[in-house]
Each structure stands twice: as C-alpha cells, then as structure tokens.
Amino acid sequence: MATMMINDVELYYELTGESGEVLTILNGIMMSSESWTEVKKDYINAGYRVLTMDFRDQGNSGSSSITYKIEQHAEDLKALLDCLNIKTTHILGISYGGQVGMIFAIKYKEHVKKLILANTSSRLSNFLKGIGEAWDEAAKLNDGERFFRIAMPLIYSDIFYETHYDWLKERERSFKGILTKPWFERYLRLSSSHGNYNIEEEIHKIEAPTLVIGGDRDIVTPYEETLKIYKKINNAAFVMIPECGHASCYEKPQEFNIQVLGFLSIKRSKEEGRI
C-alpha cells in the first residue's frame, strides 16, 4: 500500500505477492483498489504479483487539478509501471478499467503480456451515454443512499437482486455515510473524461492474447458490445458468464476467477512449451 506522484497527481497503488508475473487490475468507475481485496487472493495464491491502482479522482488517489480524457489513465499507468520497474504485465480491466486497458494495449503493446476485458465496451453507445447521464444526475444529489438506489439496479442482474436483496439494501444504507460531496465531485470529473470515447476502429491493433468476458444479463455493456471487441481482436477468446450482470467479479467471483486464471495459465503454458 503506497502512493507515488505520477504526472502531477498522487496515485494510490498496492503491489501484493512475493514473486511471479505481474497482473495489473484496472477499476470500474465506481470502484477502488479496496474493491479487489477478496477477488485478488486467488491470483496471489496462483503465483501472481497483483498490482491495483486507483485512477486520479478515484479511491485513495489524489484529485486532478486539470480536466483530462480517459487516455490520461493509460499514461498514468505507464508512468507507474516505469517507476516500479515493471517491464511487462498482464492487464485485467473491468468496465471503465477495460476501456483504459484497451487504450494502454494499443499504445504500449510491448508492455502487455495478456489482456482480460470484463464487461466493457469499445465505444459509448447512445444507450450507454444515457446511463452515464443518469448516473451524473444522481451524483449531483450528493446523497450516497439515493445514488446507490438509482445506479445499482443497472449494475447488478435481476437474479442477483432476487437472491441478495437484503444485502443490497444494507449496502444502500451504508453508502449514505461513505459517499461524500468530495467523492461525488471527483466522480463527475472521472465520468466527464469519457468525452466522445470510441476506439472501435483501433482495437484491431491490440496484439496481446485477449480474453473478453461478458454477462448474459449485463444491461450496461450488453452481449453485442462485448462481442464486437472479441471479433476485432485477432488473438482473442470470448466467455459469457450466465445469470450475471455488469458486476461479474462481484456476482460470480468464483466463475470469474476460474476464467481469468484459466486463460492466463493456458497462455503461459504455451509460451513455456508445455502445450
């Protein structure tokens, strides 16, 4: 757990694990490094060093004094990797983090060993723009409980709501104190970084072996959007997690980690000549 001054912003990161290849995890827009505390244990136990980071205006990282585009996070990641002397890394990005991961893999392909893209998109569809605008309006209420109540039904699947309703309502109440006015101000800056995000015509440049993960009940980044990514990357595989919404790493953590570790293991074995 540490911070480092990167491109004029203090970025928070955690590098966990004794040795092994580095797996860098990139957050969704409402997440932080803390979101991966339980999920990453499986990766560490499998022999990976896990690097998590909070984007500028997110989690324990500092706030940006300037407006920026989503591409800035790729530059921040490159600078952080350089400072940590990490030459190559696997990248796992979910949602907003998957978008950053693709941008990084296009520009800094020599630094990416494998790329895993979960519940993400290569463009802002009109529907996704509408969701983003709704979340922005909810954020302007400066009320964590109401924000959770408005945003979460789009993130979690209907099945998860049926089986975890009491837990979700408890989380909703807890967000009243967790999400403060500064959090919402930072969230809105982060959200505005999307701009007119569209890399559909560039993702074919990704050379790293890639796994695309979708959820069959994901409303935010539906099947058609994840399938577009898979079809445009030459060295790609595609997995759909059943009965799962946008928050696949939360809703189905075991299935999610099996897919991530299986993909990394198979590719690694091929490189080492065992398959």
Question: What secondary structure does DSSP assign to the chain, as a single string?
Answer: -EEEEETTEEEEEEEE-SSS-EEEEE--TT--GGGGTTHHHHHHHTT-EEEEEPPTTSTTSPPPSS---THHHHHHHHHHHHHTT---EEEEEETHHHHHHHHHHHH-GGGEEEEEEES--SB--HHHHHHHHHHHHHHTT--HHHHHHHHHHHHS-HHHHHHHHHHHHHHHHHHHHHS-HHHHHHHHHHHHTTTT-B-TTTGGG--S-EEEEEETT-SSS-HHHHHHHHHH-TTEEEEEETT--S-HHHHSHHHHHHHHHHHHHHHHHHHTT--
N-term to C-term CA, the chain:
37
CA distances from 125 to 190, 194, 228, 229 (A): 18, 12, 12, 14
Question: What pLDDT does 13 receive?
Answer: 98
Question: What pLDDT does 179 receive?
Answer: 94
User: Is 2.70.70.10 the CATH number for 2-121+199-271?
Assistant: no
d(CA 266, CA 261): 9
d(CA 137, CA 162): 27
Q: Is the pTM value of this prediction over 0.85?
A: yes
Question: What pLDDT does 274 receive?
Answer: 31
Q: Locate the domains of the chain by residue range.
A: 2-121+199-271
Question: What pLDDT does 66 receive?
Answer: 87
| Segments of the chain scoring below 70 in pLDDT | 267-275
Question: What pLDDT does 19 receive?
Answer: 86
DSSP 132-154: HHHHHHHHTT--HHHHHHHHHHH
pLDDT tens digits for 10-40? 999 999 998 899 999 999 999 999 999 999 9
